[in-house]
Amino acid sequence: MEIYLPFSHSLKEKRKRLVSIKARLRSKYNVAFSELDYHDKWQRALIGMVTLNNQRTIIEKTLNKIIDEVQDLVDGEIIQTTIKYL
């Protein structure tokens, strides 16, 4: 998930926002999160999420709920999302 954070004015502020979002979603859903790219950009983040299940529909529902919730939580917008199955 690539996120644009227009109101973030420092790396510290960006990380604070991301930590808050990750903590809230980690406690609600069974997923692991990591910031994958744009570590040195104040207003951009690429977040990777991983979850496991033997039913693809459950994974799709969970990830779609997360996307909707992130859109509500973030002071910005989701630029792009990609779902990969292995």
Estimate to the nearest angstrom the gap between the alpha carbon of 69 and the chain centroid.
Answer: 9
Q: Is residue 85 part of a domain?
A: no
Q: What is the mean pLDDT of the chain?
A: 92
**Burial class of 78 by CB neighbour count within 10 A (0 to 12, 13 to 18, 19+):** middle
Output the pTM of the full model.
0.83
Q: CATH no. for residue 67?
A: 3.30.70.1120
Average pLDDT for 12-19: 92
37-73 pLDDT tens trace = 999 999 999 999 998 999 999 999 999 999 999 999 8
Which domain, by its residues, includes 58? Answer: 2-80
**Domain count within the chain:** 1
Q: Is residue 86 part of a domain?
A: no
- Hey, is 82 helix, strand or coil? coil
Q: Is residue 11 part of a domain?
A: yes
